[in-house]
């Protein structure tokens, strides 16, 4: 492993810990000596990494630190490009714009060789799927999820029968055949999936629903038997 790769790996390990982690644990994780670890910490700090701590106490990378251009390998660049292209073919216009803007920002800070990898990536996303027209603004749904706000909706089943519901939205899934809102339904007192082409929003809630969306998503995964790494 080269020194630059080792420094990158050290940054990645630090990012995985929200509390100070001892030098011994870091050294064992990286397979290096404590002396080498201390030198690497000092080197990263000299390059501007916001690492707090000291020998015998522990180290922590402050939130918000942006990794330098060496953070991406060629494979990681291609994964990012493919992901952005998938977003561009399936998401709402605001997310499509955000994906393109993000790629532009990444391109601006990459070294020349990796910039060429980004520009010439051979990984393509399939054409835009034939999705039914949404009856609701997806941006509104995403904002409600982020703010953990309730929504009052009218939902129509496959036969066209409509019901009014109050829901706690916690995730939005993008499939080839439909976009689906995952939510806790107070009418059914259970998790429910709502196709966005069958729903109308009546009213946005002004306050948070009583549980955190991360907890709802975790419980939904457990009930559905879906591992976190898959969904």
The predicted-structure confidence for 111-122, as pLDDT tens digits, reads as follows 777 778 888 888
- Most confident among 77-91, 141-155, 216-230 (mean pLDDT): 141-155
Residue 145 is predicted with a pLDDT of: 94
**What class is the 138-224 domain?**
mainly beta
DSSP letters, 144-158, are HHHHTEEEEEEEE-T
Of residues 200 and 66, more confidence is placed in: 200
Contact between 128 and 89 (Cβ < 8 Å): yes
Residue 68 is predicted with a pLDDT of: 54
Same fold, 3-69 and 138-224: no
Residue 226 is predicted with a pLDDT of: 77
Cα gap 189→177, rounded to integer Å: 27
The per-type count for the chain, helices as H runs and strands as E runs, is 8, 7
Of residues 154 and 3, more confidence is placed in: 154
pLDDT band with cut points at 50, 70 and 90 for residue 142: very high
Question: Where would I find the H helices in 73-205?
Answer: 74-90, 93-109, 112-119, 138-147
Residue 47 is predicted with a pLDDT of: 78
Residue 229 is predicted with a pLDDT of: 54
CATH of 3-69, one of 3.40.1450.10, 3.40.470.10, 1.10.10.10, 2.60.40.420: 1.10.10.10
Contact between 167 and 182 (Cβ < 8 Å): no
The predicted-structure confidence for 159-182, as pLDDT tens digits, reads as follows 889 999 999 999 999 887 889 999
What residue segments make up the domains of the chain, in order of their start?
A: 3-69, 72-119, 138-224
Could you tell me the pTM of the whole model? 0.65
Residue 231 has pLDDT above 60, yes or no: no
Contact between 178 and 197 (Cβ < 8 Å): yes
Task: Identify the CA nearest to 181 among candidates 149, 147, 146, 142.
Answer: 142
* Neighbour count for residue 79 (Cβ, 10 Å): 14
Q: Which conformational region is residue 133 in: left (phi greater than 0), alpha (psi within -120 to 50 degrees), or beta? A: beta
Average confidence score pLDDT of the chain: 85
Of residues 160 and 130, more confidence is placed in: 160
Cα gap 39→27, rounded to integer Å: 11
Contact between 106 and 118 (Cβ < 8 Å): yes
- What whole-number percentage of the chain has pLDDT above 90? 36
* Neighbour count for residue 73 (Cβ, 10 Å): 13
């Amino acid at each position: 492993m080269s020194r630059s790769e080792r420094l990158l790996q050290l940054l990645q390990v630090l990012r995985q810990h929200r509390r100070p982690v001892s030098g011994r644990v870091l050294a064992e994780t990286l397979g290096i000596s404590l002396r080498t670890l201390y030198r690497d910490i000092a080197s990263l700090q000299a390059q501007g990494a916001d690492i707090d701590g000291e020998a015998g106490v522990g180290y922590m990378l402050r939130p918000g630190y942006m990794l330098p251009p060496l953070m991406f390998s060629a494979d990681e660049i291609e994964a990012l490009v493919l992901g952005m292209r998938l977003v561009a073919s399936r998401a709402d216009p605001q997310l499509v714009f955000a994906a393109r803007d993000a790629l532009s920002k990444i391109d601006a800070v990459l070294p020349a060789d990796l910039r060429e990898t980004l520009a010439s990536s051979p990984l393509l996303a399939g054409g835009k799927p034939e999705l039914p027209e949404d009856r609701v603004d997806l941006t509104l749904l995403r904002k409600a999820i982020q703010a953990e706000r309730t929504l009052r909706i009218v939902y129509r089943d496959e036969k066209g029968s409509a019901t009014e519901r109050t829901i706690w939205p916690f995730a939005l899934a993008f499939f080839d055949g439909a976009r689906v809102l995952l939510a806790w339904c107070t009418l059914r007192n259970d998790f429910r999936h709502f196709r966005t082409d069958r729903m109308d929003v009546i009213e946005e809630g002004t306050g948070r629903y009583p549980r955190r969306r991360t907890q709802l998503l975790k419980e939904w995964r457990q009930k559905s038997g879906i591992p976190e790494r898959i969904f």
